[in-house]
Amino acid sequence: MSKSAAFENALLKLLFNGDAIANLADDAGTSPLTNLYVSLHTADPGDDGNQSTNEIGYTSYARVAVSRDTDGWTVTDSVVSPAEDIAFPVGTGGSGTATHFGVGTASSGAGVLLYSGEITPNIVCGSGVTPYLTTETVITED
């Protein structure tokens, strides 16, 4: 079963921009999220994964907070992308290859993974490397 294109776009705007879906859902909870947290992964976290599943672990790595509004995310035609490039902390040691990214609800730990996707080309991380995702990184609702 599929969703209509209008609902797909509205759902992404609710999740990434905090925009209400009239008469269905709103962002007026007691303490709605103001940021979503982007993570890097060494393999696909999968449908059953969380934010820490296969998460990269180079020295100084941390998830990056992106504001949950139009300053943080662009949503058009059921596709969402970062409004600006997302730079992760520069590596001070360790290593790993980021093959996937994730977007979730927690700054650390096993938070809820909302979406994940492949990084092409992969990012080899380690000392002196600043991994980043560009505005060309997309999540498509289908």
Helix (H, G, I), strand (E, B) or coil at 97: strand
Cβ-contact 62, 136 below 8 angstroms: no
pLDDT tens across 130-142, in order? 999 999 999 998 7
Phi/psi zone of residue 60: left (φ > 0), alpha (ψ -120 to 50 degrees), beta?
left
- Extract the runs of DSSP E, i.e. beta strands, from 1-142: 35-41, 64-67, 73-76, 79-82, 86-87, 95-104, 113-126, 132-133, 139-140
pLDDT tens column, 56-88: 999 999 999 999 999 999 999 999 999 999 999
User: What's the pLDDT score for residue 64?
Assistant: 98
Look up residue 56 and give its DSSP letter.
Answer: -
In the chain, the percentage of residues whose pLDDT exceeds 70 is 100
How far apart CA 23 and CA 76 sit, in angstroms, is: 21
Query: Can you list the alpha helix ranges (DSSP code H) found in the chain?
Result: 5-17
**pTM summary value:** 0.94
